Structure 1
Amino acid sequence: MQSEILRHFSKQLHAWCHDRITQKPSPFCQVELHPDLLGTDDRQAQSVVLWVNRESCLAGALVLLPPNHEEEIFPEATATATALGLDMFYTWGRYEISAWSSEYDPPEKIWEYDISLEERSSAAFFQKALNRLIDQIEKNFFEQQSQEPLVNHLYLANLLHLTYLDLLPSFQSGLQEINADRDGQLTTREVQNLLLRTLLLPPALACDNLLSLPSSPEKLESSLVSDLERLPDDLRDGFSSRLGLTIPPGCRRRFNHYVRRIRQLAPHLPDILAQTTQLLLERWAEALGGFRGPDSDAETNYVLVNCADYDLGLPVDIEIAPAGILAARALIFDLAGPDRRTAPKRYKTPFSLSERIDGRLIYGVLDDDHPPSATELKNFKAALRFSWPNRRLKMTGKTPLWGWQLLHLCGLVGHDCRLELGLPSNWLRQPFGAAILSTLQDKIHLREIEVESSGRVLCKFQTDSDDADAIVSYSNETRRPVPSEPQWSFGRRLLA
């Protein structure tokens, strides 16, 4: 009940704040209720943010409504203030309205306004108290307006995050319109990856002092393409894409504003951009089609497939991931300094890979279940003629994308190679599952299937194997042997 009351009260505060800043001169131009921010998990208190310029992530004040005592929300309040580049926050409690400096631990109270018993029951008082609060907020703002926001990795991450959320709808509709003649529409995942790649490019350029400012938003795209060519080879390859760099017309004004803000923050970027990018990947990885990589193993060389998070010390020879994840990983790798490992070869899709894979562990997840378009199907079959020469593969157009990718990767494996791939849990029960198993049986052996709580199954294959039974293991550590003769006859009943 208390939380419901606070939600209603926060909405009323939001409305009153909006009326106040639109009816009277104010340094604030926008009010937002409980914005979606990174690095502020488990937020319990309702919040209202007064923005000086939201597109530049310039917040003027943060007001929180603690469910109980102010002290209980100090960690949350401090993290939220830090995410907004603020060094103070305000609380509206049961008995008083207070301002707190988050530069201290715990925060130190620097202003308060007591709420009398009579005033607590008056709606008119609440509006009067709000005016008193905004007067104090504006006073503090003008006293500190010469100070820049506290720029840290959390603040930068939220600048990118809010820009991403603002741009995504128009970016998606704009790309679909530009690519209307393309066989098959861009998937939501593809659009999200392209947007992340585009947003990461300006800070990547600014880190090396390569970001130029165009004379108009219409010239932004060509300016970024020109700047991209000046990046180091490994980093430039991470930002390349078969679709090229495209900023739809409806996004150019907003994106131009973002680029100019990044240019202002350029001196801070070398120290915080890697951590910022890692935080963005943690938040967006699943939507982008990325997953956690393997634990560090210096004795195994890896081919990683759709891994968004892994240790930089991992010996990775080849990295396959969607455009946004690949750009982010390339940027993190580039910022790691001269002592890092040799950069891996990077590919946006398994079908870009055309070399034989020997003595490596192919690790990752294949889960893109959209059916291929006619053009994609033609290209897939051409690629499989290379990875499976002299084989007539009986696959249909109903086989999802991940199935074609699995076949191509398995066709490239050579001597002493292992695969640990997360696949959709129902694949062995699908008609195309039997066709995939039938194709693989002469080349690799399925040694174990782990039934994961995520709804996927981790399938472990290897090229050189004895005749030991395959094992099915479950998340509760139950293990069940499956007869290996005939090796592939258990496909449909394996997970029963």
Structure 2
Amino acid sequence: MAAFFISRILRVIRLNLVKYNTPKTDGALRQFSQQLQAWSEEKLQQKPGPFRQSELCRGLIGAETLPTPPLVYWVNRESLLAGGIVILPDHDDAEILPVAARAALALGLPHFFTWGRREIQCWSATYSPPEKVWEYALPHGEESTPATFRKCFNLLIEELEKQFYNLQQHIPEISATYLANLIHITYLDILPSIQKDAQLSIAEGRMTPSPDALKNSLLQMLLLPPALATVNDLPRDFSVADFPNNLAEAVNNLPEKLKTTFTSHHETVLFPEDCQRRFLHYYYRLEQIKSALPEFIADAAALVLKSLSFELGGRPLPTTGSGLPLVAINPDSAIEDPSPEYEISLPGIAAAIALVRNFSNSPPHQATQVYTNPFDLKTKLANHFFTGALTDETIPNAALQKELNARLRFAWPNHKISFGGKTPVWAWQLLHLTGLLDQGSRLELTIPKNWLWDRFGEKIPEVIRAKFVISEIALIGENSLKCQFQPGDAATTSITRENDSQRTIEPPLPRWLRPFAIIALFASDPTFHLLETGELQFYEEGTCQGYPSAGLQCYLQSTLGKNLWSLLAPGRPQPRPEKMAAQIASAGVPLPNEKIIRALGQLSTRKGIVTTADIDQEITVWLGATTPIEPKRSLKSTSKKQPDAPEIIRLFNNKCLEEEIPIFPDNYIFKTPENQRIEYNFNGRLRIKETFFDEIILVDQMNNEITLQGIRQAEALELISTCRSGPIKLPRDQSETEKMLTRYVDDLTNLRKSYYRHATNILPDQEVTDKVNAFWRKQQLPDWRLVKTRIPKNF
């Protein structure tokens, strides 16, 4: 079996090695790097040598532009003592040499190896450009066999060991990149244990920091020892389990600005037993190199910040100034110009910025006051420009919700504001900051875009309308919006879409701002034009209740209605007839006037069976040429089949609509912690393009590729892509995905049986299967042909 796998790898390599610029090259290169790492682990277990571990080092700062992660041979990984590094070039060996040299120097190595198209080579990284010191020609053509490639690999290991022994007295050269990697890799190693411990705390009902706060506190803790080392004050006797308390006295010896940063407003992180040894390796390595720390700590902190700031909650600030004193909120780096008067930074980011400011040769300006929580700012500020980002999407527990609601009373003393339910922390922070804005101040924030859909978002425009308007909403990336809050009572809001085109909306009431903004951001020009001209309008629930339910149901079954429902209520099944008016008003779906709705309701009386095409044709007649629906073509039917009685079909449809449609993965993933999920983004139906071992490549309808590990992940994505597009999140653990998929298929099977039961009771026997299939296809349900592959054949 092993020989088969190796021969397959070599076959792929022989086909692709010379054509590195073809689309298949990246996959072949990645697969070969994984095979080299597997061979390395096997070799290290068979023969004692200087190397203790091999790793495809994905988190290496300085190697971000390499086509595949470098293969690193560790002497002691926890102390960042590397013995060798192998790079796989993707196209031109010469072009990659400077990057490969930086990757080697980032680990303190004077040499690096490349496994190229025609030879294996060793290079000196201390020269610019790198100089070749050894090479071995790879076999080609008929000489290329599994045995010859394994021989080449053995020669590589021998040369790696020889170079290591020749330079075993070489002390790793300390640089800013080396120090940044020491911090970064330690952070990546310890974080999973801290997160697991936090999950146990949640399960036991104990308080625990939010995910962002946890990451920030960990980075702050890891930056404290190098900060202490710069003043030669690293304690020698301490308990890792109680590290914060043991270092409390040493922190007092830091410069004042550093001392304030490392002691103020942070959640204490206690290291679990399984990562205490890892921290000790890090601590003692810093003690060994402490003489070099003052020179490199500022640049190293900046590199760590660049790598981690986004996941820690930092965001870049706007590049254009406003001429007003600046209040910076969660910046991703030290701000040079304009200098902030106030700065709100998360603890880990604040610690890194403090090190940059204190040890840089040309330090950025220091803010007058630095906070680590927006609620710590308690000053009403006039004529200031608040700018930055709020990213904490943690859902607080009941006790914290009560505390946050109480904190809002400071900024909004005359308003009774009470968030609850599933409101994320950033929403409380947003209202607190808007309450601090006084005469002449403006607020420009990047916030998660989910407030446009979620229930808590209803309160945001309603609360701030007493003082401010949201004057601009711009789409930033896939998941964020930049919103400008300005004093005044103007009713217009400027909307900037993904392609930088702009639209202007004038919501008649604050509560319609969200659905109006969603349509302006994501709907087509014809659909948006219907709102601009007033042919579609927003209606309160009381008005909708007066409309015929049959007309509303026909409207939501039209192409226009379906598109608006999926845009404004994504993932939710269409409402049942008795809840139609309430849910349309709740979702903010705009409607045509009552006359059109009544005309749609009469279609079934006139035509019997009403199809989506019939409804689209009727809407086109009423709304004219601006409708985004293509008119129904006049085709002469040749079918001799008599139509079903409309009342029977309607009864069948209504019975089926009473059944709850399971939503995957939303209804099944709630027990999986957020940090154990992985997001996949795709557009349209997926198909499996290529498989290699456990690695699978999927491609969507836009020819975008998704590479993942595990057949269960691929099966889940392939199934769900038949009824919706991404993004969706699945558990990282394949076994959890398998359990979810099994439950989902069971629920779909039961749903299908219910449809058959209704059809059997209502419809003629010869029409049961056709009508069930037709109804199934109209719902937000996956392709039944794929579902059947996972259920017993006798169903």
Counterpart pick for 2:186 among 137, 146, 163: 163
Partner residue in 1 for 2:99: 76
Matched, 1:361 2:388: no
Partner amino acid for 2:295?
D
Partner amino acid for 1:50?
Y
Q: Is the contact between residue 183 and residue 374 of structure 1 (CA under 8 Å) also seen in structure 2?
A: no
Partner residue in 2 for 1:93: 116
Q: 1:124 to 1:482 in 2, by over 3 A?
A: closer
Q: Is the contact between residue 39 and residue 83 of structure 1 (CA under 8 Å) also seen in structure 2?
A: yes
Matched, 1:44 2:44: no
- What do the CA deviations read for 1:310-362 (whole angstroms, capped 9, x no partner)? 53343212222322222222222222468653444222222222221222111
Matched, 1:17 2:40: yes
Q: Is the contact between residue 174 and residue 250 of structure 1 (CA under 8 Å) also seen in structure 2?
A: no
Give me the TM-score of the superposition, normalised by structure 2.
0.58
Which shifted more, 435-444 or 61-70?
A: 61-70
Q: 1:178 to 1:349 in 2, by over 3 A?
A: same
SS of equivalent to 2:170: coil
Counterpart pick for 2:280 among 252, 256, 268: 256
Q: Is the contact between residue 294 and residue 310 of structure 1 (CA under 8 Å) also seen in structure 2?
A: no
SS of equivalent to 2:247: helix
- What do the CA deviations read for 1:425-467 (whole angstroms, capped 9, x no partner)? 342444433322222112223322223344322211123x475
Partner residue in 2 for 1:103: 126
Matched, 1:300 2:324: yes
SS of equivalent to 1:421: strand
SS of equivalent to 1:423: strand
Matched, 1:347 2:371: yes
- What do the CA deviations read for 1:80-100 (whole angstroms, capped 9, x no partner)? 212222121112334433211
Displacement of 1:235: 1.5
Partner residue in 1 for 2:538: none
SS of equivalent to 2:197: helix
- What do the CA deviations read for 1:261-317 (whole angstroms, capped 9, x no partner)? 112222222222222222222222222111112326494322122221353343212
Q: Is the contact between residue 98 and residue 130 of structure 2 (CA under 8 Å) also seen in structure 1?
A: no
Which structure has more strand as a fraction of its residues? 1
Partners of 1:452 and 1:242 in 2: how far apart? 29
**Unmatched 5+ stretches in structure 2:** 1-11, 17-24, 520-795
Matches within 5 A, 1:266-281: 266-281=290-305
Partners of 1:466 and 1:325 in 2: how far apart? 37
Q: Is the contact between residue 241 and residue 270 of structure 2 (CA under 8 Å) also seen in structure 1?
A: no
Matched, 1:57 2:80: yes
Partner residue in 2 for 1:371: 395
SS of equivalent to 1:285: helix
Q: 1:136 to 1:336 in 2, by over 3 A?
A: closer
Q: Is the contact between residue 201 and residue 208 of structure 2 (CA under 8 Å) also seen in structure 1?
A: no
Q: Is the contact between residue 291 and residue 364 of structure 1 (CA under 8 Å) also seen in structure 2?
A: yes
Partner residue in 2 for 1:138: 161
Q: 1:404 to 1:216 in 2, by over 3 A?
A: closer
- What do the CA deviations read for 1:2-44 (whole angstroms, capped 9, x no partner)? 3455444434433443344344342221112354312222322
* Identity fraction in percent: 37
Q: 1:263 to 1:300 in 2, by over 3 A?
A: farther
Which shifted more, 256-265 or 17-26?
A: 17-26
Q: 1:130 to 1:437 in 2, by over 3 A?
A: closer
Q: 1:445 to 1:71 in 2, by over 3 A?
A: same
Displacement of 1:418: 0.6
Displacement of 1:220: 4.3
Partner residue in 2 for 1:417: 441
Partner amino acid for 1:383?
R
Partner residue in 2 for 1:314: 338
Q: 1:296 to 1:85 in 2, by over 3 A?
A: farther
Matches within 5 A, 1:325-344: 325-336=349-360, 340-344=364-368
Number of equivalent positions: 495
- What do the CA deviations read for 1:34-60 (whole angstroms, capped 9, x no partner)? 543122223225642211111111111
Q: 1:28 to 1:334 in 2, by over 3 A?
A: same
Partner residue in 1 for 2:535: none
**Unmatched 5+ stretches in structure 1:** none
Rg larger in structure: 2
Partner residue in 2 for 1:243: 267
Partners of 1:116 and 1:337 in 2: how far apart? 52
Which shifted more, 69-78 or 2-11?
A: 2-11
Q: Is the contact between residue 469 and residue 490 of structure 2 (CA under 8 Å) also seen in structure 1?
A: no
Q: 1:397 to 1:124 in 2, by over 3 A?
A: closer
What value does the CA root-mean-square deviation take over the aligned residues? 2.9
SS of equivalent to 1:247: coil
Q: Is the contact between residue 63 and residue 69 of structure 2 (CA under 8 Å) also seen in structure 1?
A: no
Partners of 1:294 and 1:197 in 2: how far apart? 26
Partners of 2:195 and 2:255 in 1: how far apart? 29
SS of equivalent to 2:83: strand
Give me the TM-score of the superposition, normalised by structure 1.
0.89
Partners of 1:402 and 1:168 in 2: how far apart? 23
Partner residue in 1 for 2:458: 434
Q: Is the contact between residue 120 and residue 126 of structure 1 (CA under 8 Å) also seen in structure 2?
A: no
